[in-house]
Amino acid sequence: MRDSAIKGAPEIITPSAGDTSLPEPVMLGNGVPVYMAGNGTVDLLRIEFVFPAGQVMEEVHLAASTASAMLTEGTIDHDATTINDLIDSTGAALTHAADKDTAGLVTVTLTRKLDDVMALACEVLFSPTFPENEFRMLTDRRLQAFLTSRQRTSVIAREAFYEALCGSASPYGRITTEDDYRSLTTGDLREFHRKHYRPENMYVTVAGSEPWKALPVLERHFSGNGTGKWKKPPLPSPILDTTEPGKVFRDVPNSVQSTVRMGWKGITRNHPDYQALQVATMILGGYFGSRLMRSIREEKGYTYGIGAVAGAFHGIGYITIMTDVANAYRDETLDEIRKEVEKLRTGEVSNEEMALVRNHMMGELARLFDGPFSVADAIRGIIDYEAGADYYTRFADTVKTITPARIMEIFNKYFNPDEAFGIIAGSR
Amino acid sequence: MFILVSLAYFAFMIGFERHKLANGLKVIVHRDEGTPMVTTNILYDAGSRDEDPEATGFAHLFEHLMFEGTQDIPLFDVPVMMAGGENNAFTNNDLTNYYITLPANNLETAFWLESDRMRGLDLAEERLANQKSVVTEEFRQRYINQPYGDLLLLLRPLAYRVHPYRWPAIGMDISHIEKADSISARRFYDRFYTPSNAILSVAGNVDPDVVFRLAEKWFGAVPPGDRPERKLPVEPGQTERRELTVHRPVPAPHLIMAFHMGSRESRDFYILDLLTDILAGCDSARFPDILVRKKELFSEADIYLSGEADPGLVIFSGRLRDGIDVRKAEEAVRSEFERLTAERVTAAELDKARNRYESHRLMSYISASNKAFSLAYHEVLGDAEGINREHEQYMSVTAEEIASTAGFTFRSGNCSVIYYLPEKR
């Protein structure tokens, strides 16, 4: 590397990813698997409960996110005020959220408060009542936040992108409207909860300095729920429309910047090209000195930032490039992105650039496994998407051995300009 | 119970060693053997409060220039990435902070990079021109192209009349950024980017003696510079309520009420930090419970401290429900403030806020990079040991102190109000 050859510069030791193996789960009496990541000196435990209860399982739009948001709004034993008070008195943080594919509850607690916090976690997960009055207030607040988000070009562009990619009938491409908020009922939530928040669907991660301390406590609070063996339920295969690539424009009146997105259909996490695609996307727009950052931020000054990501939901992958630019530059930005992609389809990256990205990604992998909380996140990524226990080991191997020729092959396979979706959201 | 709490307290002292180089650079090391990484954090004692009122946003623009390379290292990021590291920086009203986190066996690379850009920078006109345009887009992306994005841009000049906190770190106006030239960039660099105006803090899997030796090797020969004197105008006490009404294309009205308070090191800070937690720190706190749920006036109601080193602000920020009159909503907030002096916060509320503080503190110590920054931050306030004294400050706050501080702080004459209303349809 030219720079490390500078006179007097310290020698750089090639980073390694370290131990990327994942722990085997321990089963509770009722078969719920518990994955433990232990290390560190701070006397805290982070315990996460995960269910396949994301948007993809919805029969009624918004049921997944609203059911998740309502978990602490009342249970068989306590009303919302009491529950919140009980949680907050312990000093614990308790957050619940639903995403496209899963929903869960994360608790972070001082180890000495563990018993109280687990009792509450069990209560909100398995006996929420979805009371009418709290539901009405929550829906009003969520609707207001939704209306505010309609003025964000980034939100409109993201929505238009997934609609274009997955189709409006797919749970990943469906557009939310005001009516969805108005027609949702507490009955929908109870139904969704009954079907999808089940002990036999759940797994648990425990991260902290002494995670095994949580086992007897989990056993005490959770093993009374459900019987039989944990079984990951089959997710419905997402309905995907056949969508046509092309350009989409969405008008967001009064905006002084436009959000520009370009993207392609990608691949799922268990696809043999997935790791190589990660490396290719990194080169294009994954770091500060990436091709896109150098061209569109550093040379043109069109934007504060531009990035590229390859990811996957259940059953469908995506590749997306996104940036916010001045309205005057949005078409030029799309052209520049095309040019940068074309360069990578027609020419190999240099050995220097390859080495740079290789080392950078090894460093990222090492940081991904630095500390128990990070390891717990890595575990989730693998279980939720059936990526395989050796996913990160294969990832590290790919990063270590991938060649410029293989990168070019990936760009030719997955970044075809005729198959690209281009989205602009901004004022007309 | 008492014994348990005390043990927890002593167990979580952050140990560190300190050393000062002859050129004035302060070096702090915290050893954490639980991570394979190390964070090298450099804090420069220069923020937007140190800017010329006619050239605001400069400290932040300068932060961008620090990544634009030097004669010897034209691409700053390349060696960081080769070493498996990540780096970033931020600028606020008080300071500018840079960090590199990398595998501990590549620590020296971070020292090489940071000492190089402390010694010299390539301030070519074209690099400056480009970063001016990047920062202009950042300004638009964060503050203009977001619903409610300009709220804090409006608040600062309303609440402050003379102190430089009257402009935000991004700058008072885009035109200031457009005017920046390389001569003033050079002047800013020479004045503030010196060893005597910096703190180097290292946290991770490292031996302090090795770090001190490396600090001497890489930073020892950087010329000291004169530590710049800071003579900022003192904001006179506010005596009359200030009010600003604006109309914007947003769906719901928003209410801001800001009150002057003490400095980061004053007793005020700890009292008000716990008080704002009691008011809005969690779902069961008073504002979410009363203003959002029971009275249904707001869809969100928050209160927080701006947290600057010099006397700062306590800021109430609430988004109104549909059809609620903003004055009626303000009245309800005000009556919550009055209740704080009429009756004491309960022991349970105070206990809850303390528990939450303790969890947050421990949570932040999970990350070595947080510890590195916190140590540097306390050092720039006066003493890195402050990191271990805060616990006692929080634990000793009483209900009586809260009542008297609330009474003094939430006076009508000490308040700046913004009515941020939807445009008439």
B296: left (phi over 0), alpha (psi -120 to 50) or beta: left
Is the CB of B82 less than 8 angstroms away from the CB of A304? no
The verdict on residue A118 lying in a domain is yes
Question: What residues contact A46, with CB distance under 8 A and at least 6 apart?
Answer: A106, A107, A108, A205, A206, A207, A208, A372, A373, A376
pLDDT band at A301 (very low <50, low <70, confident <90, very high): confident
- List chain B domain ranges: 14-219, 242-422
**Given strand B26-31, what is the order of strands in its sheet?**
B17-20, B26-31, B198-204, B37-44, B96-103, B86-91
The residue among B63, B78, B219 with the most chain A CBs within 10 A of its CB, best to mutate, is B78
The verdict on residue A233 lying in a domain is no
Task: Select the residue of B109, B132, B363 nearest A12 (Cβ to Cβ).
Answer: B109
CA distances from B89 to B95, B97, B99, B192, B227 (A): 11, 5, 6, 16, 22
pLDDT in tens, A238-293: 556 666 788 889 999 888 899 999 999 999 998 999 999 999 999 999 998 899 99
- For residues B282-308, one letter each, b for 16 or more C-beta atoms within 10 angstroms of the residue's C-beta and e for the rest, the string is bbbbbbbbbbbbebebbbbbbbbbbeb
> Rounded to an integer, what distance in angstroms lies between the CA atom of residue B185 and that of residue B131?
12
Q: Residue A162: pLDDT above 60? A: yes
3-state secondary structure of B53: coil
Q: What is the mean pLDDT of residues A145-155?
A: 91
The answer on A204 and A70 residing in a single domain is yes
Q: What is the ipTM of this complex?
A: 0.86
The answer on A207 and A308 residing in a single domain is no
Chain B CB contacts of A95 below 8 Å? none
> Rounded to an integer, what distance in angstroms lies between the CA atom of residue A325 and that of residue A292?
13
Closest to A207 in 3D by CA, of A71, A98, A369: A369
CB-based contact A104:A127 (threshold 8 Å): no
CB-based contact B206:B214 (threshold 8 Å): no
Is the CB of B355 less than 8 angstroms away from the CB of A110? yes
Number of structural domains found in chain A: 2
- For residues B354-392, one letter each, b for 16 or more C-beta atoms within 10 angstroms of the residue's C-beta and e for the rest, the string is bbbbbbebbbebbbbbebbbbbbbbbbbeebebbbebbe
> Rounded to an integer, what distance in angstroms lies between the CA atom of residue A284 and that of residue A266?
15
Chain A CB contacts of B36 below 8 Å? 18, 366, 370
DSSP per-residue codes, A66-131? HHHHTTTSBBSS-BHHHHHHHHHHTT-EEEEEE-SS-EEEEEEEEGGGHHHHHHHHHHHHH-B---
Q: What is the mean pLDDT of residues A73-83?
A: 93
Judged on CB neighbours under 10 Å (0-12, 13-18, 19+), B169 is buried
> Rounded to an integer, what distance in angstroms lies between the CA atom of residue A377 and that of residue A207?
10
Chain B CB contacts of A371 below 8 Å? 34-35, 366-367
- Beta strand pairing call for A33-38 and A203-208: parallel
Is the CB of A289 less than 8 angstroms away from the CB of B78? yes
CA distances from B129 to A328, B55, B118, B182 (A): 18, 16, 22, 9
Is the CB of A152 less than 8 angstroms away from the CB of B146? yes
**Which CATH number does the domain housing residue A41 bear?**
3.30.830.10
The residue among B284, B322, B354, B367 with the most chain A CBs within 10 A of its CB, best to mutate, is B284
> Rounded to an integer, what distance in angstroms lies between the CA atom of residue A111 and that of residue A113?
5
Closest to B93 in 3D by CA, of B46, B54, B127: B46
Q: What share of chain A has pLDDT > 90, as a percent?
A: 65
Does the CA dihedral B281-B286-B292-B298 come out positive or negative? negative
Which chain A residue is nearest to residue B132, measuring alpha carbons? A301
Predicted structure pTM score: 0.91
Which chain B residue is nearest to residue A41, measuring alpha carbons? B34
B14-219: CATH class? alpha beta
- Beta strand pairing call for A303-312 and B17-20: unpaired
The answer on A278 and A187 residing in a single domain is no
The residue among A1, A11, A12, A322 with the most chain B CBs within 10 A of its CB, best to mutate, is A12
Q: What is the pLDDT of residue B4?
A: 39
Q: Which domain holds residue A197?
A: 26-222
Question: What is the token pair recorded at B115?
Answer: 């000492």
pLDDT in tens, A228-245: 555 666 666 655 666 678
The verdict on residue A229 lying in a domain is no
Residue with tokens 């009064």: A254
Which amino acid is present at A85? D
The verdict on residue A374 lying in a domain is yes
Count CA within 13 A, CB hemisphere, residue B347.
Answer: 0
Rounded (5°) CA angle B366-B367-B371: 105
Is the CB of A109 less than 8 angstroms away from the CB of B355? no
The verdict on residue A359 lying in a domain is yes
Question: What is the token pair recorded at A319?
Answer: 């590749």
- Beta strand pairing call for B37-44 and B198-204: antiparallel
Residue B327, H or E segment: helix B326-342
Chain A CB contacts of B32 below 8 Å? 41
Mean pLDDT of chain A: 90
CA distances from A356 to A275, A337, A362, B35, B101 (A): 17, 21, 10, 23, 16
Is the CB of A81 less than 8 angstroms away from the CB of B289? yes
Does the CA dihedral A55-A57-A63-A68 come out positive or negative? negative
Q: What is the pLDDT of residue B5?
A: 39
Does the CA dihedral A238-A241-A247-A253 come out positive or negative? negative
> Rounded to an integer, what distance in angstroms lies between the CA atom of residue A234 and that of residue B164?
59
Residue A387 has a CB neighbour count (10 Å cut-off) of 20
3-state secondary structure B123-146: CCHHHHHHHHHHHHHHHHHHHHCC
The answer on A314 and A370 residing in a single domain is yes
Question: What is the token pair recorded at A124?
Answer: 């909100």
Q: What share of chain B is helix, strand, coil (3-state, %, to 5)?
A: 50, 20, 35
Which chain A residue is nearest to residue B289, measuring alpha carbons? A81
DSSP 8-state assignment for residue B246? E
Is the CB of A256 less than 8 angstroms away from the CB of B284? no
State the fold for domain B242-422: Cytochrome Bc1 Complex; Chain A, domain 1 (3.30.830)
- For residues A291-303, one letter each, b for 16 or more C-beta atoms within 10 angstroms of the residue's C-beta and e for the rest, the string is bbbebbbbebbbb
> Rounded to an integer, what distance in angstroms lies between the CA atom of residue A46 and that of residue A25?
16
> Rounded to an integer, what distance in angstroms lies between the CA atom of residue B400 and that of residue B389?
21
Question: One fold for both B14-219 and B242-422?
Answer: yes
Does the CA dihedral A109-A113-A116-A122 come out positive or negative? positive
Closest to B160 in 3D by CA, of B235, B212, B110: B235
Q: What is the pLDDT of residue A21?
A: 81
> Rounded to an integer, what distance in angstroms lies between the CA atom of residue B102 and that of residue B99?
10
Closest to A427 in 3D by CA, of A341, A327, A344: A327
Q: What is the mean pLDDT of residues A108-121?
A: 93
Q: What is the pLDDT of residue A231?
A: 63
Q: What is the pLDDT of residue A223?
A: 81
The verdict on residue A143 lying in a domain is yes
Is the CB of A9 less than 8 angstroms away from the CB of B292? no
Is the CB of A91 less than 8 angstroms away from the CB of B12? no
Q: What is the mean pLDDT of residues A188-212?
A: 93
Residue A49, H or E segment: strand A44-51
Is the CB of B351 less than 8 angstroms away from the CB of A89? yes
3-state secondary structure of B250: coil
Closest to A319 in 3D by CA, of A262, A239, A360, A370: A262
Closest to B112 in 3D by CA, of B147, B90, B85, B138: B85
Question: What is the token pair recorded at A139?
Answer: 């829906």
> Rounded to an integer, what distance in angstroms lies between the CA atom of residue A68 and that of residue A104?
8
The verdict on residue A14 lying in a domain is no
Backbone φ and ψ for A293, nearest 5 degrees, come out as: -65, -40
Task: Select the residue of A92, A298, A366 nearest B84 (Cβ to Cβ).
Answer: A366
> Rounded to an integer, what distance in angstroms lies between the CA atom of residue A216 and that of residue A224?
13
CB-based contact A187:A130 (threshold 8 Å): no
Between A121-125, A390-394, B138-142, B256-260, the lowest mean confidence (pLDDT) is in B138-142
The residue among A4, A13, A152 with the most chain B CBs within 10 A of its CB, best to mutate, is A13
> Rounded to an integer, what distance in angstroms lies between the CA atom of residue B98 and that of residue B91?
9
Q: Would you give per-residue pLDDT tens digits along chain B (425 residues)?
A: 333 333 344 447 899 999 999 999 999 999 998 889 999 999 999 999 999 999 999 999 999 999 988 888 988 999 999 999 999 999 999 999 999 999 999 999 999 999 999 998 888 888 899 889 889 888 888 888 888 999 989 999 999 999 999 999 999 988 999 899 988 889 999 999 999 999 999 999 999 999 999 999 999 999 998 888 999 999 999 999 999 999 998 889 999 999 999 999 999 999 999 999 999 999 889 999 999 999 999 999 999 999 999 999 999 999 999 889 999 999 999 999 999 999 999 999 999 999 889 888 888 888 899 999 999 999 999 999 999 999 999 999 999 999 999 999 999 999 999 999 999 75
Backbone φ and ψ for A27, nearest 5 degrees, come out as: -95, 135
The verdict on residue A394 lying in a domain is yes
The answer on A293 and A261 residing in a single domain is yes
Question: What is the token pair recorded at A396?
Answer: 């590290």
Is the CB of A87 less than 8 angstroms away from the CB of B78? no
Task: Select the residue of B67, B134, B282 nearest A88 (Cβ to Cβ).
Answer: B282
The answer on A201 and A72 residing in a single domain is yes
